Amino acid sequence: MAVVDLNSDMGESFGAYEIGDDASMLSIVSSANVACGFHGGDALVMHETLRLAKENGVGIGAHPGFNDLWGFGRRPILGDRPADIEKQMIYQIGAIQGMATALGMRVGHFKAHGALNNMAAVDFDLAMATVRAVKAVDPEMIYVALPGSEMEKAAEKLGLRVAREIFADRAYEDDGMLVSRKKPGAMIEDADEAARRMVDFVTSGEIESINGKRIPVAIDTICVHGDSPKAVSTASKVKKALEEAGVAIKPMAQTMGAK
């Protein structure tokens, strides 16, 4: 039986601002990428998100990004050197590890957020900065990366376990990278279409670009962005469609095993 993880970005609310329906998403997904306070999240939100994840048997991961609450971590920040980014990643991983330890939980994976993830996918030096941070804090942590990206190459070079991630709600370019959110067609808005695509991609081992090109990839985990208005519907339909196709949904920390 094929097995895949279903993840979502969560814990991105902060102060008076509520982003996403984390409680509902945590009843659907198998892994949660929890914001660490830089692009979203705060101490109270992080604690509650982790508590709910534990209650639902959902695996947890660090989801650090640029220090950019104003832009939700989706604006490129070009002034920071890779060495500075590495320290910022260590800081954010430490924050979620502390909170998880207080709740008797373990942070099992790392996934960079937003603009940082997009930039590191094509910039090997920046990718290496994120990988070095993970290896310095916990070399057993799973590193989540886009298949074929510089992040995947960097993680493999330093010997980390890599979870290859595809997106249920994003379109792909012919090189396997994500279509920029600035371009039309970048987002898959229809939940039924997202579900159909994920069954196709997982069972065939190929993704399809916005131009119809088929690209063979390894797939370990599927992301549904938690801040989308249709996130809960999309995640629910993706999970149901996969299970009906004979694909089991389990946390990546279970499916990928230990080193």
Tell me the CATH number at 170.
3.20.20.370
Q: Label residue 257 by pLDDT band (50, 70, 90).
A: low
Give me 99's structure tokens.
Answer: 């909170």
pLDDT tens by residue, 160-181: 999 999 999 999 999 998 998 8
Residue 14 scores a pLDDT above 50: yes
Q: Running DSSP on this structure, what letter comes out for residue 237? A: H
**Distance set, CA 203 to CA 2, 169, 196 (Å):** 8, 18, 11
Across residues 141-148, what is the average pLDDT? 96
Q: What percent of the chain has pLDDT over 90?
A: 82
Are 155 and 145 spatial neighbours (Cβ–Cβ below 8 Å)? yes
Q: Running DSSP on this structure, what letter comes out for residue 104? A: T
- At 259 the pLDDT is 44
- At 80 the pLDDT is 76
CB burial class (10 A; 0-12, 13-18, 19+) of residue 71?
Answer: middle
Kind and range of the H or E run holding 38: none
pTM of the model: 0.94
Q: Measured between alpha carbons, how far is 111 from 106 in angstroms, rounded to an integer?
A: 15
How many structural domains comprise the chain?
A: 1
Range of the domain at 115: 3-255
Measure the CA angle with vertex 32, ends 169 and 103; round to 5°: 165
pLDDT tens by residue, 195-246: 999 999 999 999 999 999 999 999 999 999 877 788 999 999 999 999 999 9
Angle between helices 191-204 and 231-244 (to 10 degrees): 40
Phi-psi region of 21 (alpha: psi -120 to 50; beta: other; left: phi over 0): beta
